[in-house]
Structure 1
């Protein structure tokens, strides 16, 4: 059986979600093209309160993003749900909700999100995130405690079907 753009996109996105649930930044990055059309940088200059909300464009940037995302949350106090995965040719959209606790503030947040992927030649070439960034920024707001990255990574999104 030959693969189709729909099956390729679904397989790559499903693998992405699996690696995300396993908190494997380098293995997540392996799924991305060397140069990526990235959109998670609102506002354009990034967000000063949230270190992972900024422009990215390379596979190395992708690993750094997921490492920072995991490091700045409390291990074991995060997860999420996936409500739907929609695939149309090389494009896939994952709809869901993220639940996390920010390490620096101890604040919990829940943010709905949509992830838009484009998969070409078996790798992710587009990764656009649409999320409730205001809720994330409010949870990450400064306190007297500083963020301390850790090698123990928290689940940012949970595995499919959870």
Structure 2
């Protein structure tokens, strides 16, 4: 019975396949902020899982104040004590569905990545407006201030990326 179910699923996936690349929207980075292990090589930035949760709530509140909406939230657990659990948050800037910010918080790192999506597949044209970019920039500045206070003495890396097209 199990073999039949697995066979049917395998054949279904084979016949359906992946969506064609011509229907996929590309994304490109707008801004990014990193703190922790990958920036300065030291191990922990937050001492406990409880502090990870508290910091995630603080970051969620900041994004909401800046006009972003929470799109998704999840937790994952690392097998190593250094990692503990990780809070993953996804935010979108409302009305345009063009700008998304993904947040990852664990005991070893704090990372925010803001991206923009294409208007239509394979056009290389993005729906991001000057207002959207301003909101992202103001949010990254506020996140930088929080990171400097929360992680005093630690390196905070902010990256701004060149955009393929400016509307």
Task: Compare CA radii of gyration and give the structure with the larger one.
Answer: 2
How would you bin the TM-score normalised by the shorter chain? 0.3 to 0.5
